[in-house]
Amino acid sequence: MEINTRRDTSETTMKKEEEEEEQPLSPAARVFHSPEFNCYVIAVIGIKKKIEADVIIEGLKHTLIRHPRFSSKLVNNGNKKRQTQTWVRTNVVVEDHVIIPDIKTQNIENANADAFLESYVSNLTTVPLDISKPLWELHLLDLKTSDAENVGVIKFHHSLGDGMSLMSLVLACMRKTSNPDELPSLPHQNRPSSRSSWLTAGSRGDSRFLWLVMVLWSAIILALNTVSDALEFIATAMFLKDTETPIKGDFRLSKSKKMCLVHRTVSLDEIKLIKDTMKMTVNDVVLGVSQAGLSQYLERRYGETKKKVGEDQESKKNSNNMPKRIRLRSALLVNLRPNTGIQDLADMMAKKSKCRWGNWIGYIVFPFAIGLRDDPLEHLRKAKRIIDRKKHSLEAALTFIVGKFILKSFGVQAAANIINRALSNTTMSFSNLIGPIEEISFYGHPITYMAPSVYGHPHALTMHFQSYMNQMTISLTVDPTVISDPHRLLDDWEKSLQIIKAAVQERGSCPLD
C-alpha cells in the first residue's frame, strides 16, 4: 500500500481526493451491466513485428492505467433491492491484465493461423471480465497471420465508455511511426451544410426574404422529421418488428452464446474513388455497398432455403429468391461528442488533466432497401437519400436524451428492457469510425490494421468499419447459429464494392491505378 506523505489536511482537498477515489456509475454504465446489455468492446490489432511484451507492459504503466476508469474496479454496495454501484480506484498490476497465451505455432500456418485467431477471439466472448479488477485486458498473441506478424486483442467492458471514446483512448496510447513524439493524425472532416450556406447568403443581404423562408422551411422539415423518427422509434419499441430474415436472430433464445468475429481489409482508395465520382461521403458509400452486399447474401440464403424444400427451379428462373418486401433496419451508432478528443485523452494520461468521458452515443434507425438492382449505383443513391434525410432530424440526440430521462425516471431495469426491446425488433447494428491517415505504432510496434467491434447487445449481426491509412477494415460480429458463414457475407460485400466501382468507372470516372 502506498503511503501519502503530503501534509495537505484541508477539508476541501480531502473531500476532492475521496471523490476521485470513489465515483458512482453513470446511468448508462449501469445499463451496460444489466443482464440485457452485458456489452463488451473488443478490438483486434494487427502488428507488423514480433511483440515485445515487456515494452508494451511498461508503456501501459505510463499511459492507460493513468486513466481513472482503467485504474478503478466495480464495487456493488447494498442489497439486491437497493444496490448501488461505484468505481473505486485501486492499485493496478498491469501484468495481471496482459495475457500472453502459450501458442504452439509449429502447426499453425497461413489460413490455419487466421482460423486459430478467429477461434481465440470467439472464445473470449464467452469469458466475462473479473470484476475484482479494472474491467479491461490485453491479449498478446505470438501468431503470424495472413495480414500481420503478431496480433493484439484488447477487450473492455462497455461501461468504461462508448466505442468512440475507447478507440480514441487506444489511439492516444499510440504514436506516429515517422515521429514517435506525435499523436496519430485523423483526416479533416469537411461537413458542408446547405443550411449554413443559407445563413451566409442572408448575412450578405442576398434576398433576405428568400433566406428567411428557407431557414424557416428547414426548421419545419427538421421538426417533422424528428417527430416522424420519434414515432417510429416508439413503434419499434412497442410492436414494429423487422422481417424474419436469415440474418435476424432471436436473442430471447440465444443469451450468453459464443459470438464469432471476422474481419477483412479492402482499399479505402477505391471507396474514395466512388465517393468523389458520386459526390458523396465515405459513409454514404459504405452504407450503399453494405446494402448491396446484404442483398446479395440474402438472395443466396433464400435460394438455398428454396432448394432444401425442393421448389421447382423452372418456376423461379425469372424471379428473385427473396420476398418482394423486406423490412430490414439497422441501429446506426452516432457519436454525439463535439470532437474525437485524442489530444485531450493523451493530456489526461500524461498530466492528469480533466477530459469529458462516458457513453455519449445516440441511435439512428436506418432502413436498408434490400433487393437486387439492375443498376448497382441505385444502392448508393438510395442509401444517400435515406442518410441525408436522417441528417435533417434530431433522432440521434433525441434517443440519447430520452434514454437518460427513462433511466432517471424509471430506473435501470426499465430502461434496459425498453432499449433491448427496440433493438431486438431491428435486425443489426452498424458503425463507422475514422482512423489515422498514416502509419502508427503501439509502444514501438507498427500497426497493420485495427478491427474493433462490440458484442452483448440483442443483434445477430454487427457491421463495423474502421479506416486506417489507405485501407478500410470491415469487422463482422455474428451469432454463428444464425449466420454460420460470415466470410461469405464479407465476400458479397467485397464483390459488391467491385461491381459498384466498375459501374462508376464505366460512366466516366478516371481509372484507378
Residues 52-65 have pLDDT tens digits of: 999 999 999 998 88
Residue 41, H or E segment: strand 40-47
- 262 lies in some domain: yes
Section 469-475 average pLDDT: 97
CB–CB of 379/289 below 8 Å?
yes
- pLDDT band for 22, please (50, 70, 90 cuts): confident
Flag whether pLDDT at 208 surpasses 90.
no
Is residue 42 domain-resident? no
Q: Provide the number of structural domains found in the chain.
A: 1
The answer to the question of residue 301 being in a domain is yes
The whole-number pLDDT of residue 312 equals 52
CA–CA gap between residue 385 and residue 287 (Å, rounded): 11
Mean pLDDT on 66-91: 81
Tens digits of per-residue pLDDT, 350-407?
A: 656 566 666 677 888 999 999 999 999 999 999 999 999 998 999 988 888 888 888 8
Q: What is the mean pLDDT of residues 141-151?
A: 94
pLDDT at 194: 43
Mean pLDDT of 321-344: 78
Residue 17's pLDDT band, with cuts at 50, 70 and 90, is very low
CATH code where residue 478 lies? 3.30.559.30
CA distance 55 to 58: 5
Q: Is the pLDDT of residue 69 over 70?
A: yes
- Once rounded to an integer, what is the mean pLDDT over residues 221-242? 92
Contact present, 138 and 60 (Cβ < 8 Å): yes
Confidence of residue 189 (pLDDT cuts 50, 70, 90): low
Compute and round to an integer the Cα radius of gyration of the chain: 24
Which alpha helices (DSSP H) does 309-428 contain, by range? Answer: 342-351, 377-391, 395-410, 412-424
Q: Count, in order, helices (H) and strands (E) of the chain.
A: 14, 16
Average pLDDT over residues 431-454: 94
Nearest Cα to 494, choosing from 262, 320, 277? 262
Neighbours of 300 (CB within 10 A): 17
Asked if residue 120 belongs to a domain, the reply is no
Active site residue 158: yes
Instruction: Select which of 157, 158, 379, 457 is catalytic.
Output: 158
Tell me how far apart the alpha carbons of residues 12 and 18 are, in angstroms, rounded to a whole number.
10
Contact 166, 156 (CB under 8 A): yes
- Predicted pLDDT at 417: 87
Give residue for cell 449554413. Answer: 196
Q: Specify the pLDDT at position 56.
A: 96
Per-residue pLDDT, 487: 97
Helices marked H in 325-365: 342-351
Instruction: Name the least confident of 91-95, 140-144, 508-512.
Output: 508-512
Tell me the one-letter amino acid at 438.
Answer: E
- Range(s) of the domain holding residue 484: 222-338+358-432+458-506
Whole-number pLDDT of residue 6: 38
In a domain, 54, yes or no: no
pLDDT value, residue 474: 98
Within a domain: 69: no
- The answer to whether 36 and 420 have CB atoms below 8 angstroms apart is yes
Whether 226 and 394 have beta carbons less than 8 Å apart is answered as yes
Q: Is residue 23 part of a domain?
A: no
Query: Which residue has better confidence, 174 or 344?
Result: 174
**In this structure, is residue 83 part of a structural domain?**
no
> pLDDT higher for 66 or 201?
66
Query: Percentage helix, strand, coil, to 5, in the chain?
Result: 45, 20, 35
Confidence band of 475 (pLDDT split at 50, 70, 90) = very high
pLDDT at position 193 is 46
Task: Name the residue type at position 66.
Answer: R
Give pLDDT, residue 335. 72
What pLDDT shows up at residue 190?
A: 56
Considering 4-8, 126-130, 157-161, 486-490, the range whose residues carry the highest mean pLDDT is 486-490
**How far is residue 190's CA from residue 205's CA, in Å, rounded to a whole number?**
26
pTM: 0.86
- CA 41 vs CA 50, 185, 257, 451: distances in Å: 25, 23, 16, 11
Contacts of residues 186-189 at CB distance under 8 Å and 24 or more positions apart, as own/partner, are 186/340, 186/342, 186/434, 186/435, 186/436, 186/437, 187/434, 187/437, 189/434
Residue pair 401/394 in contact by the 8 Å Cβ criterion: no
Q: If you average pLDDT over every residue of the chain, what do you get?
A: 83
Q: How confident is the model at residue 122 (pLDDT cuts 50, 70, 90)?
A: very high
